A = this chain, B = another copy of it.
């Protein structure tokens, strides 16, 4: 097909009728496909079957010092799990808390604590301050935005570039003492798949913040989630922040949700000494301790970080196939000049930009054909994409053949929407 903008009116009418015909056939075929959430598929879950197979003996549960992990204690997690995560992610094992299965919960709890008590750098609990603001890199992760929305922050959008957030804008915003923090998915970002450049990490670590208790929520959800050999490198933000005396600024999160099982993984928070002390103190009131046996299961299953990386290589290969299927299938949209998308080296998402004002329409056309996409707008604060053009595509969940079919329908939906605009339907 020619570029849609180059079609004559009659050519456009013709293409419209042709594509509508094809599209409507799919609508009648009763499909039920889902590209909406970054969910591992069955094959990926099966790759961690060993962790559920693991039969733990009494001896397995007692550590060399004679401490029984089946019992109470160790609110900050078992030392063996700290070591595993430290090795895997290049963190200091003394500055890690290993918790339950949800890193989102650790993020929420960190901010909820800041609201109720303030941080080690605060002069008062955040809930005593008025008009607080939070920076959201867009397109971004809806569950992040929702946390700060619920906690009452005004959400400020900053554009994502291929090198990370627009840092000029971030630095400008941080001069406002009401701006308390920023959400970051620094590697294989959700949804663009881009990794923050060294310069971006340095600027985040060193920038002037009017709020002394400014926090970078560093959600390294896709730290070890490359599709192949070509793994993006992310600078160590703690090391950079230390150079500027800003190490309290960073709260680092990760989990095994997309390494082992989303429904039964292990999550961590890593931070400076002062932050970790504060977290442990508050957590010591909040909980009697997290599930240590599931931490132990992960340790016994993987044994070391190298094995995690081998496991991730296997998962990455399968995901690569899915991302290839999707991005290959989308090629006609490039020819027609009606969409742009990212092709990341890892992570879970492709960020698809369609033409201005048509993302919602594409979502609706897909829904009518039985394919669920992430809601248009979900990648923006308050669910509102001001240009109505971004769609987050999550190819991980469907089987390859379903994904191929969904991609085909997506191409029809995007073309149809663009042609509708062109011919004024």
Binding site for B on A (CB under 8 A): 37, 39-40, 42, 45-46, 48-49, 52-58, 60-61, 68-73, 100-102, 104-105, 108-109, 112, 115-117, 125, 127, 143, 146-147, 150-151, 257, 261-264, 282, 285-294
Contact = CB atoms under 8 A, between A and B. Distances in A.
Contact of A285 (B100, B147, B287): B147
Nearest to A255: B288
A70 B55 contact: no
Given A102-B290, A150-B282, A263-B70, A49 B45 contact: no
Q: How many copies does the complex hold?
A: 2
11 contacts: A42-B68, A45-B68, A73-B263, A100-B290, A101-B290, A104-B287, A115-B127, A116-B151, A143-B285, A264-B294, A291-B294
A261 B70 contact: yes
Contacts of A112: 112, 116, 286
Contacts of A147: 285-286
A55 B39 CA distance: 24
Contacts of A53: 55-57
A348 to B, nearest CB: 12
A196 to B, nearest CB: 23
A42 B263 CA distance: 29
Contact of A293 (B46, B52, B282): B52
A132 to B, nearest CB: 13
Contacts of A115: 116, 127
A285 B146 contact: yes
